[in-house]
Amino acid sequence: MPAGKHKSRQRYRKVFVRTPGGNVKIHFRERKPSKAICAIYGTPLAGVPRERPAKMRNMPKSAKRPERPYGGVLSSKAMREIMKDKARTLLAKIRGESQ
């Protein structure tokens, strides 16, 4: 009889593993976390892996998130819009439109 934590399948998922003897055994592995989402649009982020914290710790920094401003927080579409707004406000200050 499996333990209660294995019966609900909320935290652990079944993985069928073929052993060297040719048998197929059931291993229970923890489920992956949900996908990272954009803070503005709520869409899943591209380039951010869905891994357990122990595996994420051993990944290089460049594999954990995109190498761009707001990487891992905003989608590329949202980042582009923010950069455009920042450029417009900066240009307006330079031209002296705030007078």
Q: State pLDDT tens for residues 80-92.
A: 999 999 999 999 9
What is the rounded distance in angstroms from the CA atom of residue 15 to the CA atom of residue 28?
A: 6
User: Considering just the CA atoms, what is the radius of gyration of the chain in Å?
Assistant: 22
What is the rounded distance in angstroms from the CA atom of residue 73 to the CA atom of residue 66?
A: 10
Q: What pTM does this model have?
A: 0.70
End-to-end C-alpha distance for the chain, whole angstroms: 77
Both structure tokens of 65: 């998130």
Which residues lie below 8 Å from residue 47, measured CB to CB, with a gap of 6+? 65, 66, 71
Question: Which pLDDT tens digit goes with each residue over 6-60?
Answer: 888 899 999 999 999 999 999 999 999 999 999 999 999 999 999 999 999 999 9
Residue 76 has pLDDT above 80, yes or no: yes
